[in-house]
C-alpha cells in the first residue's frame, strides 16, 4: 500500500532529530508531498513527526494526478488547499477537527484541493 505524506507546518523550533527525519523523507518545505511504501520503519518516523505532517493511503487516481505535475526527485510541491486545512487549523490533530496526523482515505480529498 502506498502512503501520501504532506508536510503542513514549517521548520521553526525543530529539534535535530526532527530535521533529520524530514530530510530522510525529503519533506523540506511546507506543502510538499511524497508518495512512499507503507513499512514499519516509516510508521515509526511518522509517529515522531505526527505534529507536522498529515498522511493516509492514496488511491491510483490521485497518484496519476500528482504524476502529471512536474516533480523533482519524487517530491511534489503543492499549493495550500483551496478551502483551508480544517476548522481548527494546523495545530490540532485531524481526529479533533484539525489537519495533523492520520487522515485515512480523506488524504485524497486534501491532495485534490492542493493540486
Q: What is the pTM of this model?
A: 0.90
> What pLDDT does 72 receive?
65
* pLDDT tens column, 79-113: 999 988 878 888 888 988 889 999 999 999 999 99
Q: Residue 90 and residue 75: Cα distance in Å, rounded?
A: 21
> What pLDDT does 74 receive?
83
* pLDDT tens column, 46-84: 999 999 999 999 999 999 988 887 766 789 999 999 988
For residues 54-93, one letter each, b for 16 or more C-beta atoms within 10 angstroms of the residue's C-beta and e for the rest, the string is bbbebeeebeeebeeeeeeeebbebeebeeebbeeebebb
Q: What CATH fold (topology level) applies to the domain 2-114?
A: Ribosomal Protein L30; Chain: A, (3.30.1390)
Amino acid at each position: 500500500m502506498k502512503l501520501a505524506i504532506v508536510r503542513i507546518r514549517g521548520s521553526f523550533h525543530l529539534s535535530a532529530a526532527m530535521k533529520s527525519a524530514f530530510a530522510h523523507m525529503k519533506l523540506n518545505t511546507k506543502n510538499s508531498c511524497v508518495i512512499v511504501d507503507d513499512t514499519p520503519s516509516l510508521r515509526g518516523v511518522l509517529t515522531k513527526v505526527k505534529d507536522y505532517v498529515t498522511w493516509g493511503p492514496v488511491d491510483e487516481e490521485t497518484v496519476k494526478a500528482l504524476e502529471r505535475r512536474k516533480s523533482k526527485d519524487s517530491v511534489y510541491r503543492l499549493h495550500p488547499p483551496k478551502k483551508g486545512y480544517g476548522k481548527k487549523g494546523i495545530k490540532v490533530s485531524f481526529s479533533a477537527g484539525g489537519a495533523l496526523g492520520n487522515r485515512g482515505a480523506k488524504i485524497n480529498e486534501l491532495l485534490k484541493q492542493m493540486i
